[in-house]
Structures are given as structure tokens and as C-alpha cells.
Structure 1
Amino acid sequence: MGEFRRVDGGLYYYGICTAGGMLSAGATHLAVTPLDVLKVNMQVNPIKFHSIASGLNILWKEEGPSSLWRGWSGKLFGYGVQGGFKFGLYEFFKRRYTDVLAGERQSVVFFLSSASAQVFADIALCPFEAVKVRVQTQPNFAKGLSDGFPKLYAREGISGFYKGLLPLWGRNLPFSMVMFTTFEHSVELIYRKFVQRRKEECSRTQQLGVTCLAGYTAGAVGIVVSNPADNIVSSLYNKKANTVMQVAKNIGLMNLFTRSLPIRVALVGPVVTLQWFFYDTIKVLNGLPTSGGLSRSIEGAA
């Protein structure tokens, strides 16, 4: 099974977690760029882009195959930076909150750690997201980040990059809190109820299998929670409305939950699963145990 380094919360551990989060998030988001392009267009123009199959066909016929990869640089670099902050800071805050909140329920630590990490991760992501959404839905705006950043700054100034920060927090904070907490408890449940062995007694392949199962479960639960805010972000960036209340009124409360939900399930579920798989693979290759489970399980992996 190989030997693992002891998790001591040191610079090496947080550095690997940050690098792993950056590489896994950037690569997986890049891979699903065509689905992301379609998702944003379905949110902004649901009448024209009313289904996955027809939407992809419309984009291909009207704008060519290259249109499916619009905004790829924003996906790669924006979500890479976000992933580094999110995973690295989550591990950092989890250690700190565990020490400070000794005796509290594990779920409290998971919620606070993921929320704290996501706040910083979204501040880093927001400028990339602002350019990406415009590139994906406004073909004449820019080709990518290199010309999109200066054009957006010239038109709207610094505020243009952070117009969607509050809705972005509204989307990603609940998703991250639910996703990390669900993942942690899913890992614990799988080992306790199904594998019926301690994590460190399992092979690396078995541990990564548990990571994938827990990752998909976590992603699926988080999608439903965050879908209304995801629709709001796309509408605000494309000036379909000026305020969150206007967006909610225009789209309708029920549609906030259902619009683009199928494409998000197809998009986010595999992305979250692959992110956790790549993230934990990077950790394992560097002598660290896989993620998840109660802290005592992690501490025991020496």
C-alpha cells in the first residue's frame, strides 16, 4: 500500500493541496468548456437554447465548432486559481477551526472551513468569470482573457470585474459548504458502512475509488442548492437585469431552480468527481493520504 507522510498541517502539506487544487480544477473545467458555453447561453437565452442537443447544434451551425471553446482561457486559469485557493485554504482553515472549536460537531468545522476558503477563492475568480461569461455569450466582445481584460476595464473600470461577486458568493458559498461537508461525511460513511475498514488499511486504488463515489455524491447535492444563484450570475453579467431582485422577478422563482439544471448536472457532477479524483491522486503521488473522513482518520495515516 505504500507509506504516507504524516499530515502535520505544515507548508509542504498546504503547498501540495494548493497545487493539487489548482491543477485539478483548471484541467477539469477546461475539459468541459463546450458544456459551459452552452449552459451560459441557455441561462441568457432559454427560448433559443432550450435543450442540450439542440443548443449544441445551434452553436455549431451558427458560429462554428470553435464557438464551443469560447472562454477556454477563463476556465483554465480562472478556475485553476480558484481551485488552488479553495482546496488549499480549506485544508488550512479545517486545521485551524478544528483546534479552535474542539468539541464542536465536525459539520460545523466543515461548513466554516469551506465557507472561509470560498470567500477568498471567489475574489480571485471573479475577474476571470466576468470576462469569460461575456466572451461566451457576446461573440464580438473579445476572443479571450488577453483582449477581454483591457476591454472590460476600459468600458466599466474595476467595478466591472466584481459586479457579480455577491451573486458569485451566493452561488459558490452554499455549493462549497454543502459539497465539502457532503464529501467528508460520504467518505466516512462509505468506509464505515460499506468498506468496513479504516482508510489507511485500504490500497491507494480503493481509497481513490471512495474519493470518486463521495465526490459525485457531493457534486450532485451541491448543484441543486446553487442553481438559482448560478442563473442570477449569468443574467447580471449579460445585463439582462440590474439587480438580483429584477433577475428573480424576470426569471421566476421556480425557473431559478430548474433553468439549466440538466446541463449543470451533466457539467458539474463529472467535474466535481474528476476534481476530487485528480486532487487526491496528486496528494497520493506526493505521499499524502486521500481526503475526507473525520480528522482522526487523517491523523492516523502516518
Structure 2
Amino acid sequence: MNNVDSSNEKIDASKGVRKKHELSAILASMASGAVAGALAKTTIAPLDRTKIIFQTSHMKFTIKSAMNVLSNTVKEHGVLSLWRGNSATMARIIPYAAIQFAAFEQLKKILSPDSRDSSAFRRFVCGSLAGMIAAFFTYPLDLVRARMAVTQRGRYDGLSDAFQKIHFEEGMQKFFRGFIPTMLGIVPYAGVSFFTYESCKSVYRKHHNDNEPSSMHRLVFGAGAGFIGQSTTYPLDIVRRRMQTDGTQGVVNPEYRTIVSTMRSVVHNEGFTSGLYKGLSMNWIKGPIAVGISFMTYDFVHERLKKFINAEG
């Protein structure tokens, strides 16, 4: 009888250790994702703000005009104004990246429990689902961040003030304007990004005796993933931003009610390429930088946290 009790106690203890280790692994993924997202977005915040300004206006985009927007912003409002709305970005990107990377790691374990290199299809599915989960839980923060980026100083006195004003002036439903194009865009974007990055690492290991790629290689792989992912879904990003920021200048555009009507309006008024792909060249600069930094930082921090957890365990 004592032997049975002792055996049960060992099993219970083993389960407890395993659950503790699994929880630590999830927290490590979330912490690594939070750091990666915050660093990446802060680095490219001025370019991101400039891109949103063009996406939500009828201004024709050129590199020269983008530089003019940047310089005029600095002259009129100071250097720190280039990071206006970054508090909302951080409030969104930290939980978004934490949830996305943690979800991706858990989905990999579920779909490919015994393999470090899952199939191409599974990489895409894991990335897509992780992006959808993260976007679902953080979408209102994305909308507020876009609003703060395109409005003048004084319109919103910080993140909480923006939430309150949008809620009382436009209603709760406004927080989910553009939600559907976001979810439609995140499937190919997150799927392609994670698929490309993980595939590059897998190919590297196969050609380098199963050694892991260096941080510089990961930065390049991530940049390529960002370039491909954002290029494939950019028109939906335009639609999302138009729907999110509609009404910020005091005029509500009735054509920005649905995805189709918004896309039709943009094409009719600004042209197909110059409208739906406005600012894409800037995205080819900031997107790869942000995604490259994000993936590289995540792997760097995550690997060290895992070593620490294993050492403690």
C-alpha cells in the first residue's frame, strides 16, 4: 500500500513539475515577444506614423513628400512628435507580440509535437492562427493608435483620453471599425511571415550541419519575411486605416462603411496603384526593418530565457 501511495506521489510531483515548466515556457515566450515587439516598433515609429498619415489622406506619396512630412513635423512640433501615438503603439504591440509569439510556440507544439522543423503548411497555419488570436485581443488598441497618429496634438491627451473620447463621441462600435479587413489581412501576412522566417532557418540548418543561424542571419531572414508578408497584404492595410480613422477630421465618409466600398472609393479617387499601394515603398523600408528586428530579438531573448528556466529547473 505504501509503495502505491509513494508511486502516486511521484506521479503527482512529476505532473506538477511538468505544468510548472510549461507555464514558464509560455511566460518566456510572452516576455520575449513583448521585448521584441516593443523594440521593433519603437525603432520604426517615425516612419510608421508618416506612413499612416499618407494612408489616411489623399496626398500623393513619394519619398520626397514623405521626407517633407517628417521634416515639417519636426519643425512644427519637435523631434518627439515623430513618436506621437507611440504610447498607444506600445500599449498594443506589447500584448500583441507577446500573445502572437506565445500562441505560435504553443500551436507548433500541438501540430508538430515531435519535430523542430514542421511542414510548410503547418508553419503557415501556426503563423496565421497566432496572428488572428493576437489581433482579436488587441484590435481596439490598434484603432486608437492610428487615431493618435493622424490627429493633431491636443485632440487626445494620451491613451486613456483617446479611449474615453472615442467611446462617448462615437460609441463602442467605433473601436471595431476595420476589424474584418484586419482579420482578412492578418491570415496571409502572419502566415507568410512566420512561414518564410521559419523556412529560412530550417534551410540554413540543413546546409550548416544543423547549426543555428546567427543573429545577423536571423535579422536578414526576418527582413525577407516582412518584405514578402507586407507586400502581399498591403491593400487591406490601406482599407483598414481608412476605416479606422474615418471622421477624425470632422467629416465622415459614407463610402468607408465596408471593405468593398472603401476599396472602390480609394481606387476611384486616387487610382489603383497610387491609392491601394500608397506608401508601399516606405513599407519596404520600415517593414523589413521592424520584422527583422522583431524575429531576431525574439529568438535572442527567448533562447536565453529558456536556458535560464532549464538551469533553474
TM-score by shorter chain over 0.5: yes
- 1:22 Cα deviation after fit: 1.1
Task: Give the whole-Å Cα distance in 2 for the aligned partners of 1:181 and 1:49.
Answer: 31
Higher helix share: 2
Cα distance 1:132–1:16, how it changes in 2: closer, same or farther (>3 A)?
Answer: same
Which residue of 1 is the match for residue 257 of structure 2? Answer: 242
Q: CA deviation at 1:49?
A: 5.7
Q: Identity percentage over the alignment?
A: 21
User: What's the secondary structure of 1:270's corresponding residue?
Assistant: helix
Work out whether residues 27 and 76 of structure 1, in 8 Å CA contact, stay in contact via their aligned partners in 2: no
- One of 125, 128, 146 as aligned partner of 2:138: 125
Match of 1:210 in 2: 217
Task: Give distance in 2, aligned partners of 1:280 and 1:256.
Answer: 36
The residue identity in structure 2 corresponding to 1:120 is: I
1:284 pairs with 2:303: yes
CA–CA separation in structure 1 for the residues paired with 2:88 and 2:297:
20
Q: Any conservation in 1 of the 2:37–2:97 contact (CA below 8 Å)?
A: yes
> Match of 2:155, SS?
coil
2:293 to 260, 274, 279: 274
Q: Using a 3 Å threshold, how does the CA distance of structure 1 residues 96 and 175 change in structure 2: closer, same or farther? A: same
RMSD: 2.5
The residue identity in structure 2 corresponding to 1:264 is N
Is the 1:127–1:161 contact (alpha carbons within 8 Å) kept by the matching residues of 2? Answer: yes
In the TM superposition, what is the alpha-carbon distance from 1:265 to its structure 2 partner? 1.4
Partner of 1:4: none
Aligned residues: 273
Unaligned runs of at least 5 residues, structure 1 = 1-7, 290-302
2:198 corresponds to? 184
What TM-score, normalized to structure 1?
A: 0.82
**Within the alignment, does 1:137 sit opposite 2:150 as a pair?**
yes
Q: How far apart in 2 are the matches of 1:288 and 1:215?
A: 23
Counterpart pick for 1:261 among 246, 260, 280: 280
Give the whole-Å Cα distance in 2 for the aligned partners of 1:9 and 1:266.
39
The SS at the match of 1:136 is helix
The 5-angstrom pairing of residues 94-109 of structure 1 reads 94-99=108-113, 106-109=119-122
Question: 1:259 is aligned with what amino acid?
Answer: K
One-letter code aligned to 1:27: L
Secondary structure of 1:161's counterpart equals helix
Residues 36-84 of structure 1: CA deviation (Å, up to 9, x unaligned): 1100001112426643212212323344434312101111120111001
Residues 218/119 of structure 1: CA separation in 2 closer, same or farther (3 Å cut): same
* Alpha-carbon separation, structure 2, partners of 1:165 and 1:254: 23
Cα deviation digits, residues 209-228 of structure 1 (max 9, x gap)? 33222111111111101211
Structure 2: runs of 5+ lacking an equivalent: 1-19, 247-252, 309-313
Instruction: Please say if residues 70 and 144 of structure 1, whose CA atoms lie closer than 8 Å, have aligned partners that are also in contact.
Output: no
**Which of the numbers 25, 33, 37 marks the counterpart of 2:49?**
37
* Distance in 1, Cα, partners of 2:28 & 2:133: 18
Equivalent AA in structure 1 for residue 37 of structure 2: A
| Residue 94 of structure 1, CA deviation | 1.3
Task: Tell me if the contact between 2:61 and 2:274 (Cα under 8 Å) persists in the aligned partners.
Answer: no
Between structure 1 and structure 2, the one with the greater Rg is 2
SS for the counterpart of 1:47 is coil
1:197 and 2:209 correspond: yes
Partner of 2:167: 153
